[in-house]
Each structure stands twice: as C-alpha cells, then as structure tokens.
Amino acid sequence: MKAFECKGCSTIIFIKRNVKEPLWCPVCRTSMAEIKSKSKDRSKRKLKKYRCPECEYEFLIDKNSIPYKCANCNYTFTTTFGKLQEERL
Ligand SMILES: [Zn+2]
Ligand SMILES: [Zn+2]
C-alpha cells in the first residue's frame, strides 16, 4: 500500500502498490504527495474502501472522510454512495 496526503486539506488516502498515483485529492481536488506510512499507523485508522464505478480506481480513505470526486477521473460520488450501493445489493 502507498499513502498520499493532500497538500490542501491533509486527507490521507491509501492505494495498492500496483495502482497508479492519484491525480488529485478526492475530497478537495488539491494535488497529493506521497508520504511514508508505517503499517502500524495504518492499522490504527479506520479506513473505508471506495471503488470508482467509472474508471474502477480503488482507494482507501479515513472512515470519517467522504470522497467527493474520484481521485483518478471526473466521477462524482454522492454522499450516500456506500449506503446506496449496499442497499442495491
Ligand atoms: Zn484535499
Ligand atoms: Zn474514477
């Protein structure tokens, strides 16, 4: 896993190593910088996984953060995205 921190709102997202770097912060669309994170830090966080239905980009974000846009394309998540998806299944 690789960690990226937003230069604007300090949101941290995690992506798999084989996934390309995020274009921008999914919350505020500021550019992101890769940060070094220890696996210990990650296990303390409660993360939620999101998958963009448009480009299939996957990332993990703090449970309390709600992504607005996909970190890789122009797709807009609705605020109830996770819940709606569960209900449909
Ligand atoms: Zn941000
Ligand atoms: Zn996308």
Structural domain boundaries enclosing 29: 2-88
Q: Which ligand neighbours the alpha carbon of 23 most closely? A: 2
Encode the chain (89 residues) as per-residue pLDDT tens digits: 999 999 999 999 999 999 999 999 999 999 999 998 765 565 577 899 999 999 999 999 998 898 999 999 999 988 654 555 555 55
Q: Which ligand neighbours the alpha carbon of 57 most closely? A: 2
What's the predicted TM-score (pTM) here?
0.80
38 CA to middle of ligand 1, Å?
21
Measured between alpha carbons, how far is 4 from 10 in angstroms, rounded to an integer?
9
75 CA to middle of ligand 2, Å?
5
- Residue 39: the pLDDT is 59
Measured between alpha carbons, how far is 81 from 66 in angstroms, rounded to an integer?
9
Number of domains in the chain: 1
